[in-house]
Amino acid sequence: MPMLLRLSGVNTYYGQIHILTDVDLEVAEGELVCLLGGNASGKSTTLKTVIGIVEPRTGTVEFAGEDVTGKNTSYRIKQGMAIVPENRRLFAPMTVRENLEMGAYLLGRAKKEDFERVYSLFPLLHERRNQLAGTLSGGEQQMVAMGRALMSQPKLLLMDEPSMGLAPILVERNFEIIKQVHEAGVAVLVVEQNANISLSIADRGYVLQTGRVVLTGPAKDLLEHEDLKKAYLGR
Amino acid sequence: MHLPLLNIIDTVRQLGWGGAFELLRNGIVLGSVYALIALGYTMVYGILKLLNFAHGDIYMVGAFLGYGVLSILGGPLAPTIAMVPLILLMFLGGMLGSGVLGVVVERFAYRPLRNAPRIAPLISALGVSFFLANSALLLTHGERFNYAMYQLGGDPNTGLPGPLNQPAFSVAGRPVTVVQVLVVSTSIALMIALTLLVSRTRLGKAMRATSYDREAASMMGIDTDRVIASTFFIGSVLAGAAGVMFGLYIGETYYLMGFLAGLKAFTAAVVGGIGSIPGAMVGGLLIGVTEAYAAGYVGGQWSDVAVFGILILFMLLRPSGLFGAKTIQKV
């Protein structure tokens, strides 16, 4: 399958601190890839490098056959990326509908079809559309965050720690939705600490440790990998 | 015995209901000018958490620009065009000029400090304020310029005021002049326009999203630099309009006029709850009315004391203001 996203030799710094070292990472069209790692392993920085909030000092980011290194976030989103940020980051004082609109910001006016597509995935959001996002429960907020990212019909959905701060039952429901979105043909890059659940739905996985990719392979192989079992899977 | 409180009661009696109405009228007119300035304060604070102390000076520049347009078009005694287009052009000049100035100030004085500690842009704002006030001092040689709008369409021989200073209607025998109606209604129209812009339009929603969480907004593809620049433009346009209104109503413009007006508008924004748009409107009116009553009943020298006394009271008793949300610390 053709490559959708390719990071090659990415080195990212915050000031003097070297965060990512020679990171190579690929996501093919329609693929579900997970990026695993503990705290401070560089997962979120990788994601920020992909979407252009952080620029790598060396290395390139290619998206949909184009070198987007040095292009700003708006440009990359226009090309078909969308993100569900860590902790969801909803616009709490705005309504559910307005939050969704912000997801389609670059398309100009949000279209009726886009709302309908998101509402059919999350019927509850239609019911709550005029409610302020900040008044929703954690699980509902996660739906808004997902819906907001899907408003722009992205080619690549980036998810930063979708299981963070959610009850186990909601985590499962959440990953079901991710799987559903993936089955609809959207490529997904999930950044997670919860290796078990993300590997169970992913095609491939990467493991980051102190800013380096230390392990990569098909998800089912990673699930069986001895080091990973010890470090993350608790088995 | 001579007690100040008895004096006040005496004055209230003497002025009666008619006097009370006149003071209320003056307060509302002045308050709608303050409210427009306060809106810019509160919008910029909402989006950048920056107290833009240069905002009062942008208002001053707006007042001068309005005067400039008036002079170019012949002045109040010999205008080269009719009154309505003249006033419209004065507003247009003051508003657009101030708007552009606000964007330039943001671009060069605040944007480079976007990621600096919060004290840095605050100091930069004070610097811009001094820079603008002193540039105006150099350009105007500290002279006062009077719009003298009562001359417009008036009779220079008899000194009879023009239509702007004729009563539009009367309440309890006390006149409300055309210019007073004009100031209040323009202010209300601008506030309605702003409210619609912020609540309905794509830009307004992006402004709210950016002011709530700038990074999340940029993750949605919102060009936050542009949204911030637009916020400065809109806030400064309102300040420019306020400057022209002040010129039309009171008349006298000078290089330091932005300082006190800026502080009072800042007070209005804090009283209303800084960051809140309806708060700035109500706060502005409250400050204007307080000032007018203090001046009328206690004495002109007390009006600033009353205004800033309110600021202190609010800081002590209700620091989040009338409409401000109590900030909940997020963890």
Task: Give the nearest chain B residue to A160 (CA atoms).
Answer: B219
Task: Give the nearest chain B residue to A90 (CA atoms).
Answer: B216
Give the span between the Cα atoms of B55 and B257, in whole angstroms.
Answer: 12
Other beta carbons less than 10 A from residue A126's beta carbon: 14
Distances (CA, A) of B30 to B16, B217, B234, B258: 21, 37, 21, 14
Average pLDDT for B260-275: 94
Question: Does A3 fall in a domain?
Answer: yes
List, for residues B241-255, the tens digit of each pLDDT value.
Answer: 999 999 999 999 999
**Region for residue A149 given its phi and psi (left: phi exceeds 0; alpha: psi -120 to 50; beta: otherwise):** alpha
Q: What is the CATH number of the domain that holds A62?
A: 3.40.50.300
Measure the CA angle with vertex A147, ends A169 and A186; round to 5°.
90
Average pLDDT for A30-48: 91
Which residue is associated with the tokens 């939705």? A177
Q: Which amino acid is at A211?
A: G
What residue segments make up the domains of chain B, in order of their start? Answer: 17-317
Instruction: Write down which residue in A118, A153, A188 finishes a domain.
Output: A153
CATH topology of domain B17-317: ABC transporter involved in vitamin B12 uptake, BtuC (1.10.3470)
> Which of B251, B265, B286 has the alpha carbon at shortest distance from B54?
B265
pLDDT higher than 80, residue B146: yes
Longest dimension (CA), chain B: 71
Torsion, Cα B51 B55 B56 B57, to 10 degrees, reads 130
Q: In this complex, do B206 and A103 lie within 8 Å of one another by their Cβ atoms?
A: no
Q: What is the per-residue pLDDT for B2? A: 61
A72/A133 same-domain check: no
Q: Please name the member of B208, B213, B223 whose beta carbon is closest to the beta carbon of A89.
A: B213
Q: How confident is the model at residue A177 (pLDDT cuts 50, 70, 90)?
A: confident
Average pLDDT for B152-159: 84
Distance spanning both ends of chain B, measured CA to CA: 61
Q: How confident is the model at residue B71 (pLDDT cuts 50, 70, 90)?
A: very high
pLDDT higher than 80, residue B326: no
Other beta carbons less than 10 A from residue A9's beta carbon: 12
State the pTM of this model. 0.90
Q: What is the per-residue pLDDT for A34? A: 94
Q: In this complex, do B218 and A152 lie within 8 Å of one another by their Cβ atoms?
A: no
Q: What percent of chain B has pLDDT over 70?
A: 97
Question: Does A62 fall in a domain?
Answer: yes
Q: In this complex, do A105 and B202 lie within 8 Å of one another by their Cβ atoms?
A: yes
Give the span between the Cα atoms of B65 and B71, in whole angstroms.
Answer: 10
Instruction: Write down which residue in A101, A121, A153 finishes a domain.
Output: A153
Average pLDDT for B115-124: 93
A70/A92 same-domain check: no
Q: How confident is the model at residue A184 (pLDDT cuts 50, 70, 90)?
A: confident
Other beta carbons less than 10 A from residue B125's beta carbon: 21
- The DSSP output letter for B165 is G
Average pLDDT for A180-198: 90
Q: Please name the member of B205, B216, B222 whose beta carbon is closest to the beta carbon of A85.
A: B216
Q: What percent of chain B has pLDDT over 90?
A: 83
List, for residues A65-103, the tens digit of each pLDDT value.
Answer: 999 999 999 999 999 999 999 888 999 999 999 999 999
A90/A120 same-domain check: yes
Q: Please name the member of B205, B215, B223 whose beta carbon is closest to the beta carbon of A102.
A: B205
CB B33 within 8 A of CB B240: no
Q: What is the per-residue pLDDT for B29? A: 97
List, for residues B172-211, the tens digit of each pLDDT value.
Answer: 889 999 999 999 999 999 999 999 999 999 999 999 999 9
Average pLDDT, chain A: 90
pLDDT higher than 90, residue B26: yes
> Which of B3, B19, B23, B5 has the alpha carbon at shortest distance from B294?
B23
Residues in chain B: 331
Q: What is the per-residue pLDDT for A12? A: 93
pLDDT higher than 70, residue B24: yes
Per the structure, the complete domain to which residue A145 belongs is given by 86-153
CB B100 within 8 A of CB B61: no
pLDDT higher than 70, residue A234: no
Q: Write out chain B residues lying below 8 Å of A85, CB-based.
A: 215-216, 219
A122/A184 same-domain check: no
Torsion, Cα A38 A42 A46 A49, to 10 degrees, reads 150
Average pLDDT, chain B: 93
Q: How confident is the model at residue A169 (pLDDT cuts 50, 70, 90)?
A: confident
Question: Does A164 fall in a domain?
Answer: no
Q: In this complex, do B221 and A74 lie within 8 Å of one another by their Cβ atoms?
A: yes
Give the span between the Cα atoms of A49 and A8, in whole angstroms.
Answer: 12
Q: What is the per-residue pLDDT for B8? A: 85
A194/A230 same-domain check: yes
A75/A182 same-domain check: yes
Average pLDDT for B124-149: 95
Min CA distance, A46 vs chain B (Å)?
A: 14
Q: What is the per-residue pLDDT for B159? A: 80
Give the span between the Cα atoms of A231 and B62, in whole angstroms.
Answer: 65
CB A149 within 8 A of CB A122: no
Give the span between the Cα atoms of B310 and B8, in whole angstroms.
Answer: 19
Q: Which of B114, B219, B329 is the best mutation test for A, with the most CBs of A within 10 A? A: B219
Give the span between the Cα atoms of A161 and A159, in whole angstroms.
Answer: 6
Give the span between the Cα atoms of A184 and A172, in whole angstroms.
Answer: 19
A26/A71 same-domain check: yes
A134/A22 same-domain check: no
Q: In this complex, do A106 and B221 lie within 8 Å of one another by their Cβ atoms?
A: yes
Task: Give the nearest chain A residue to B221 (CA atoms).
Answer: A74
CB A97 within 8 A of CB A114: no
Average pLDDT for A169-175: 87
Distances (CA, A) of A53 to A66, A70, A152, A157: 18, 10, 19, 16
Count CA atoms within 13 Å of residue A83 on its CB side: 30
Q: What is the per-residue pLDDT for A194? A: 85
Question: Does A158 fall in a domain?
Answer: no
Give the span between the Cα atoms of A205 and A193, in whole angstroms.
Answer: 12
Q: What is the per-residue pLDDT for B140? A: 94
Q: Is A89 on the interface with B (CB under 8 A)?
A: yes
Q: Write out chain A residues lying below 8 Å of B198, CB-based.
A: none
A194/A235 same-domain check: yes
A185/A129 same-domain check: no
Q: What is the per-residue pLDDT for B330? A: 44
Task: Give the nearest chain A residue to B201 (CA atoms).
Answer: A109
Q: How confident is the model at residue B331 (pLDDT cuts 50, 70, 90)?
A: very low
Strands (E), chain B: 145-146, 167-171, 174-177, 252-253
A26/A136 same-domain check: no
Question: Does A99 fall in a domain?
Answer: yes
Q: Please name the member of B212, B219, B222 whose beta carbon is closest to the beta carbon of A92.
A: B212
Q: What is the per-residue pLDDT for A2? A: 83
A72/A177 same-domain check: yes
CB B281 within 8 A of CB B272: yes
Give the span between the Cα atoms of A93 and A98, in whole angstroms.
Answer: 10
DSSP code per residue over chain A? --EEEEEEEEEEEETTEEEEEEEEEEEETT-EEEEE--TTSSHHHHHHHHHTSS--SEEEEEETTEE-TT--HHHHHHTTEEEE-TT----TTSBHHHHHHHHTGGGSSPPHHHHHHHHHH-HHHHHTTTSBGGGS-HHHHHHHHHHHHHTT--SEEEEE-TTTT--HHHHHHHHHHHHHHHHTT-EEEEEES-HHHHHHH-SEEEEEETTEEEEEEEHHHHHH-HHHIIIII--
Question: Does A130 fall in a domain?
Answer: yes
Q: In this complex, do A101 and B218 lie within 8 Å of one another by their Cβ atoms?
A: no
In chain A, the number of structural domains is 2
pLDDT higher than 70, residue A232: no
Question: Does A162 fall in a domain?
Answer: no
Q: Which has more confidence, A170 or B110? A: B110
pLDDT higher than 50, residue B306: yes
Q: Write out chain A residues lying below 8 Å of B327, CB-based.
A: none
pLDDT higher than 90, residue B214: yes
